[in-house]
Amino acid sequence: MVKTDFLVIGSGIAGLSFALKVADLGEVIIITKKNDSESSTNYAQGGIAGAIGSDDSKEQHITDTITAGCDLCHKDMVKVVIDEGPMVINQFMSWGCRFTRGADGKLALGREGGHSRNRIVHADDLTGHEIEIALLAQVKEHPNITLLENHITVDLLTEHNVAVMTKHGAVTCFGAYVLDVENGQVETFLSGTTMLATGGTGAVYLHTTNPDIATGDGIVMAYRAGAKVGNLEFMQFHPTSLMLSGGKSFLISEAVRGFGGVIVDETGRRVMEDHPLKDLAPRDIVARTIDHHLKNSGEEHVFLDITRKDPDAIKKRFPNIYETCLTHGIDITNDPIPVVPAAHYMCGGVVTDSYGRTSITNLFAAGEVAFTGLHGANRLASNSLLEAVVMVDRAASAVREKRQKPSELPEVSEWSEKGTFKHDEWVIISHDRQNIRRLMWDLVGIVRSDFRLRRAENRITLIRDEVREYYRKTRLSLELVELRNLVIIAWLIVISARHRKESRGLHYTTDYPNRDDSLWKHDTIIQNEEIIL
Ligand code: FAD
Ligand code: SIN
Q: pLDDT (tens digit, 9 = 90+) per residue, 429-456?
A: 889 999 999 999 999 999 999 999 999 9
Contact by Cβ (8 Å): 85, 58: yes
The number of C-alpha atoms within 13 Å of 105 and in the hemisphere containing its C-beta is 0
Distance, in Å, from the CA atom of 345 to the CA atom of 216, rounded to the nearest integer, reads: 11
Packing angle of the helix pair 450-473, 426-443 (nearest 10 deg): 160
Question: Which strand (E) or helix (H) includes residue 493?
Answer: helix 478-499
Q: Would you call 433 a catalytic residue per the annotation? A: no
- For the chain, give every residue range classified as CATH 1.20.58.100: 426-531
- pLDDT below 70 — which residues of the chain? 163-170, 424
Q: Which atom of ligand 2 is nearest to the CA of 125?
A: 2
3-state percent breakdown (helix, strand, coil) of the chain, nearest 5 = 40, 20, 40
Rounded to the nearest angstrom, the distance between the alpha carbon of 129 and the centre of ligand 1 is 11
- Calculate the dihedral angle through the C-alpha atoms of 23, 28, 33, 36, rounding to the nearest 10 degrees: 40
**Strand 2-9 relative to strand 28-31, pairing:** parallel
Nearest Cα neighbor of 200 from 359, 44, 77, 78 is 44
Catalytic residue among 117, 257, 283, 317: 283
Q: Are 112 and 46 in contact (CB under 8 A)?
A: yes
- For residue 394, give the nearest of 81, 164, 68, 32 by alpha carbon: 81
Dihedral class, residue 240 (left if φ above 0, else alpha if ψ from -120 to 50, else beta): beta
Ligand 1 interacting residues, C-beta cut-off 6 A? 9-15, 31-34, 38-41, 43-47, 127-128, 152-153, 197-200, 209-210, 213, 217-218, 251, 345, 367-369, 382-385, 388
pLDDT score, position 163? 56
Q: Considering every ligand atom, which ligand is closest to the CA of 391?
A: 1
Q: Which ligand is nearest to the CA of 344?
A: 1
Q: Where in the chain is the domain with CATH 3.90.700.10?
A: 240-341
CATH code of 240-341, in short, is 3.90.700.10
- pTM for this predicted structure: 0.97
Residue 49: nearest ligand to its CA?
Answer: 1
Number of residues that make up the chain: 533
pLDDT at 515: 98
How confident is the model at residue 247, as a pLDDT? 74
Q: Is 434 helix (H, G, I), strand (E, B) or coil?
A: helix
DSSP-assigned letter for residue 369:
G
**What is 426-531's CATH number, 1.20.58.100, 3.40.50.720, 3.40.50.300, 1.10.357.10?**
1.20.58.100
Are the CB atoms for 38 and 128 separated by under 8 Å? no
Pairing state of beta strands 109-110 and 302-305? unpaired
Residue 169: its pLDDT value, please?
A: 57
Q: Are 235 and 205 in contact (CB under 8 A)?
A: yes
Q: Which amino acid is at 464?
A: R
Ligand 2 pocket mutation, candidates 382, 383, 384, 506, criterion most atoms within 8 A of CB: 382
Q: Which residues contact 370 (CB under 8 A, 6 or more apart)?
A: 14, 196, 349, 350, 352, 356, 391
Q: What is the pLDDT of residue 167?
A: 52
CA of 165 to the centre of ligand 1 (A): 35
Ligand 1: centre distance to CA 213 (Å): 9
